[in-house]
Amino acid sequence: MRDAAPQTIYLKDYTPFGFDVLEVHLIFDLAPNATRITSRIRFTAKPDAENRDFFLHGEQLKLIRAKIDGEEITPTLTETGLTCEVPEGDFTFEAEVEIDPANNTALEGLYMSNGMYCTQCEAEGFRKITYYPDRPDVMSTFTVRVNGDLPVLLSNGNPVDQGEGFAEWHDPWPKPAYLFALVAGDLVAHSDHFTTISGREVDLNLYVRPGDEGKCAFGMEALKKSMKWDEDVYGREYDLDVFNIVAVDDFNMGAMENKGLNVFNSSAVLASPETATDGNFERIEAIIAHEYFHNWTGNRITCRDWFQLCLKEGLTVFRDAQFTSDVRSAPVKRIGDVIDLRARQFPEDNGPLAHPVRPESFQEINNFYTATVYEKGAEVIGMLKRLVGDQAYAEALDLYFARHDGQACTIEDWLKVFEDVTDRDLSQFKLWYSQAGTPRVKVEEGWSDGTYSLTLSQNIPDTPGQLGKQPMHIPVAVGLLGPNGDEVRETQTLELTEARQSFSFDGLAAKPTASILREFSAPVILEHDVSRDEQAFLLAHDTDPFNRWSAARDLATQTLLAMITENAAPHADYLDGVLSVLRDDDLDPAYRALMLWLPTQSELAGMLADRGVTPDPMAIWTAGETLRQAMAQHAQDLLPRLHSQMKVDATYRPDAEQSGKRSLGSGVLFLTTRLDGGTLAKREYAKADNMTLQLAALNALLRAGQGQEELAGFYSQWQADRLVIDKWFGLQVSLADPDQTCIVAQKLTEHPDFHWKTPNRFRSVLGPLAMNHAGFHHADGKSYELLADWLMRLDPVNPQTTARMCSAFQTWKRYDADRQALIRVQLERIAATPDLSRDTTEMISRILDA
């Protein structure tokens, strides 16, 4: 289906809808190719409305009939909706429409997956279900009747009636249409219950396909933990009699927070020790928490318009990160999040797709569910909390919930509660929402007469459409260490508000070593010439776990950059530093494991480009391999002991303690495999009784050019498990050598199990292709072509997933002229595809404009 001509929507053009919706009644008569939706919607004109046009969104709908106050009407239909004359005051609009869920491959609106009906309405999918003012500032109560010949029929809110072939639901909480959901299918429930803090009983159900019952327990525990945590930490209680979660195989995203009926990608909720890794378990726990937390931050208080998306997403990511820090290890969570921010958000913020946390315009809103809105959006909240303090943060949130419950809000509303609680002027801080680009903070140090001074200067680079930016309000957490490693000044937050500003610390006995940007207190790039000696000192002594890790990361970066650009040998101080951390049994294994990870190849490419050096993907790859080999040799004597120390004898639990041990054990196995020709990994693979250890061993083998037998065995063992087979596809591409990557990926796309219309399967091959840096950027350009071929094929089927994957090309201007030319050919080829979706058109044209 062809999209309407692309149109740019601007924040500054916001106008309220001229009518309120008093209530919505929907009847669904389900049929795969002809589902009928009968709607009865009570409207009332707003007395003071500027805009009295009655326009209802509607796309790809077959209108059977429409009525106003019982009288049949003939509305004017366009590609995007319906208009008609309406009476003054209150009136009832009714419509009957027909849609074709079985052929809805875009997975937006009402669609089918394995015989199950399912909806996805955020952001603008409800308009593919019926005619409606499909905008988040229109909130109403919904009563829904589902007629269908399926055992499970679900919608939002509380169940009010059910019988043979029907179910009726009522959601008493006014909500925007994007939170509407319907699920119908042959599903089984894993059930439990939760008693809220005020003593209300809530039924909890996790609905899955028959056969998946054994993968529900962990998700259910995570849900109960989340419900309790939100009561304890934010004072937020659940507000319906039931909370349902449904797992679906075909889903564009991870999960969706529909009121009382969350819909999850199977990969984001189903897990058992045999089939899911520790990493999967941790992600599932976080996503369950995230979607549950939306019940207050997103649903009870929603967004006025989609420009305010970070109001719910940034805040909810921040809340789920707090939750994970509380139930697992705070430093490990923080480090993981910063790795992720640098890998995904920094490239976005420093390339052609850069946009503010609150964008000012878009063509397709689905393209703005980005790392910037989510992850930088969460960082902004972390900075705000740091600046006002924990107490004021808690008061501001209480005020936010009290003042805005039931409303559709803006970032202005959000900041105002902080201003009211603290009496601070946050207008400069607000620039974090409007200025794109990662600020660079340059550090200069001074020392004289017992006084240490820090001069910080900030510079925010130009980004598409935004030149010449104002200084921002940047919290820089700093602590000082004395020569013997003692902390002589505890962490304090310096508030950098000017372009250049000095801070001094007096009364010091000796020149200190500064630990700057502790806990990564702001999403900035530090420009600080730190000697390797000083880094090694911080790695040995910093009391801030984040910065201690950061010192290791910086040392790794320095040695890798020297290896890449000067052909240097691996620096001994890095190898020694890492070794002593690995040896330190007082440190959490999970934390030690993080010390083993090198900066990603893509990150190194970005740093080289920043320094004006054209990155050579092969040289970057080779340096990483050489350094890992050197690490293995350097730690040779320690590895066997460490590996056996990390053995877990107890029954498998995916908690922080056990998974930390497995994580370090796997890192050690990875290094060992470079030395022993795979002997240990083969043994470990054979006896692995959980997916974490099985995959770790298989990864280690494949990375060492071995393990073909195990790979085949893995396939036959797990053939019937779609989530494990996704891993089987993915790991082959991510672990392939650079000159094999494209060939392996291409072969896998011919595999009979490559069901490319299922987003998880599509992403399992083409995601790792784009992520395998040296393989993707192979000089022959074949990987670029393969990815483009598949994006062009997927676009007419599923524009959303296609568009999201175009970001693989966002860094193209970093590379040499030959590679740029090869990429340009592919971008232009995609752009020239007839009937290219609005989603992909917008992404490709923004990337091409670089």
695 binds, among ligand BES, Zn ion, none (CB under 5 to 8 A by kind): none
Q: Least distance (Å) from ligand BES to the CB of residue 340?
A: 11
Query: What minimum distance in Å lies between the beta carbon of 123 and ligand BES?
Result: 6
Going residue by residue from 665 to 694, which x/- string records binding to ligand BES, judged by CB under 6 A?
------------------------------
Give, in order, the Cα–Cα distances in Å from 30 to each of 22, 38, 62, 500: 26, 11, 15, 64
Provide the minimum distance between the beta carbon of 318 and ligand BES in the complex, in angstroms, as a whole number: 11
Nearest by Cα to 355 from 803, 744, 14, 843: 843
Q: What is the DSSP letter of 439?
A: P
Q: With respect to ligand BES, which residue has the nearer C-beta, 254 or 464?
A: 254
Q: How many residues bind ligand BES (CB under 6 A)?
A: 17
Beta partners for residue 410, in sequence order: none
- DSSP codes of every residue in 288-353: HHHHHHTTTBTTTBEESSGGGHHHHHHHHHHHHHHHHHHHS-HHHHHHHHHHHIIIIIHHHHTSTT
- Which one, 120 or 521, has the nearer CB to ligand BES? 120
> From CA 495, how far away is CA 474, in angstroms rounded?
6
Helix (H) or strand (E) holding 680: helix 679-687
Which range of residues in 224-232, 286-294, 480-488, 834-842 is near ligand BES by CB under 6 A? 286-294
Among 20, 94, 122, 305, binds ligand BES (CB under 6 A): 122
Is 284 among the residues that bind ligand BES (CB under 6 A)? no
- Name the one range near ligand BES by CB under 6 A: 90-98, 285-293, 588-596, 684-692: 285-293
Nearest CA-CA partner of 726 in 745, 691, 754:
754
Cβ of residue 128: shortest distance to ligand BES, in angstroms?
A: 13
Task: Give the nearer residue to ligand BES in terms of CB position, either 287 or 514.
Answer: 287
Can residue 313 be called a binding residue for ligand BES (CB under 6 A)? yes
- What is the Cα–Cα distance from 297 to 316, expressed in whole angstroms? 6
Chain positions 288 to 307 lying near ligand BES, rule: CB under 6 A, are 290-291, 294
DSSP per residue, 241-268: SEEEEEEESS-SSSEE--TTEEEEEGGG
Residue 233, SS3?
helix
**C-alpha span between 767 and 765 (Å, rounded):** 6
Decide if residue 317 touches ligand BES (CB under 6 A): yes
Interaction between residue 700 and ligand BES (CB under 6 A) = no
Q: Count the Cβ atoms, other than its own, within 10 Å of residue 832.
A: 10
The verdict on 177 binding ligand BES (CB under 6 A) reads: no
Q: Which stretch binds ligand BES (CB under 6 A): 248-256, 520-528, 648-656, 728-736?
A: 248-256
The stretch among 252-260, 271-279, 518-526, 706-714 that binds ligand BES (CB under 6 A) is 252-260
Q: Distance between CA 5 and CA 698 in Å, rounded?
A: 48
Contact call for residue 255 and ligand BES (CB under 6 A): yes
Under the criterion CB under 6 A, does residue 661 sit at the interface with ligand BES? no
Q: Which of 464, 417, 413 is nearest to 436 (CA)?
A: 464
Q: Which of 94, 285, 291, 684 is catalytic?
A: 291
- Respond yes or no: is residue 291 known to be catalytic: yes
Region near Zn ion per CB under 5 A, out of 314-322, 381-389, 600-608, 703-711:
314-322
How is 517-583 classified by DSSP, letter by letter?
A: SGGG-SS-EEE----HHHHHHHHHH-SSHHHHHHHHHHHHHHHHHHHHHH-PPPPHHHHHHHHHHHH
Q: Which of the 8 DSSP states describes residue 195?
A: E
DSSP-assigned beta bridge partners for residue 451? 448
Q: Toward Zn ion, which CB reaches closer, 137 or 313?
A: 313
Nearer Cβ to ligand BES (356/377): 377
| SS3 label, residue 81 | strand
Residue 559 interacting entry, from ligand BES, Zn ion, none, C-beta within 5 to 8 Å by type: none
Q: How many CB atoms lie within 10 A of CB 92?
A: 16
Query: Per CB under 6 A, which region of 127-135, 154-162, 251-259, 678-686 contacts ligand BES?
Result: 251-259
In this complex, which beta carbon is closest to ligand BES, that of residue 294 or of residue 473?
294
Residue 278 CB, shortest distance to Zn ion, in Å, is: 23
Distance in angstroms (rounded) separating the CA atoms of residues 683 and 364: 51
Q: Which residues bind Zn ion (CB under 5 A)?
A: 313, 316
Active site residues: 291
Q: Which residues bind ligand BES (CB under 6 A)?
A: 122-123, 253-257, 286-287, 290-291, 294, 313, 317, 366, 369, 374
